[in-house]
Amino acid sequence: MKFFTLKKVVNPSSVFSDISTLSMQALLKRISSQIEDIGREVKGIIDFTRREALNNKFIYARDKIMLATTASEVERELYLKEADTYLMEGLTDLYSDVNAQVKTLADIKGPFASIKNIDSTLSYINEDMQMIPRYVGLRVYLFNYRDKIDDANRILGEYRYQLQTLSERKLGDGKYTALELIHKNYRYDEKSVDFWLEKPKQMLGIIDSYETMLAQNKKDVFYIDVDGYKYE
C-alpha cells in the first residue's frame, strides 16, 4: 500500500534555477551546433585570427570560473565578476560584428557581385550567430548561480532584441530584413532549407519559455512524496 503526501519545496528558486538553466543551456548549445553544421555549406575563407578573437573572451571567462570553484567565498565572487566582464565584452563584440557583417552583405549588390565576398561574409555571420548562444547561456547561468535573476532576464532580453532586430528591421532599400537577406544568399541543402527563417523563431520561443520558468522561482513549489508500506 502506498501513501501520497504533498510536500512544499524549501527553496523553489534553486529548483527552477537548476532545471530551467540546464535545459536552456542544452537548447542553446544545440542551436549553436546546428548553426555550426549549416555553416559547413558556406565555402567561406576560415579566418583563424578572427575565430581565435571570438573564442578568447569565452575561454578567459571559463578559466575564471574554474578558479572560482576552489576559491574562498570572497575570491569566488571576484572571479565570477571577472568572468562575467569577459563574457559581456565578448557578447558586445559579437552583436556589433554580426550587425556590421549584415550591413556588408546588404552592400554587396548587382549581377557582378563577388560570390567569394558573399560566402566570406556569410561565414562570418554564421560564426557570430554560433558563438552568441554560448555566451548568452553562460552569462545567464552565472547570474542564476549568483541569484541575480533580474540580470539573467536582462541578458535574455538583449538576446531577444537582437534576434527580433535581425528578423524584423528592413535594411537599406527596405526590401529585406537581415535574416531574409541571409536566407536569400545562403546555399542550402535539402535538409536545411529555410533554416535562417525558421530557426530564429524557435530561438525566441526558447527565450520566452525560459523567462516563464524564471518568473516562477519566487512562487511555492510542491511535489508528491510516495511512501510504500508492505503488509505481511
Write out pLDDT tens, residues 139-164: 988 898 888 989 988 999 999 999 99
Write out pLDDT tens, residues 95-142: 999 999 999 999 987 777 788 888 889 989 988 998 998 899 889 888
What is the spatial distance between Cα 211 and Cα 207, in angstroms, rounded to a whole number? 6
Domain with 170 in it:
2-228
Q: Which residue has the cell 565578476?
A: 81
Task: Give the chain's largest Cα–Cα span.
Answer: 87
In Å, what is the CA distance from 75 to each residue of 71, 82, 125, 150? 6, 11, 37, 23
How many domains is the chain built from? Answer: 1
* Closest by Cα among 103, 157, 153, 145 to 128: 103
Backbone phi and psi for residue 156, each to the nearest 5 degrees, phi listed first: -65, -40
Write out pLDDT tens, residues 187-222: 777 667 778 888 888 888 878 877 776 666 555 444
Distance of CA 18 to the CA centre of its chain: 17
pTM to 2 decimal places: 0.75
Q: Which residues contact 153 (CB under 8 A, 6 or more apart)?
A: 211, 214
What is the spatial distance between Cα 230 and Cα 232, in angstroms, rounded to a whole number? 6
Counting Cα atoms < 13 Å in the Cβ hemisphere of 51 gives 10
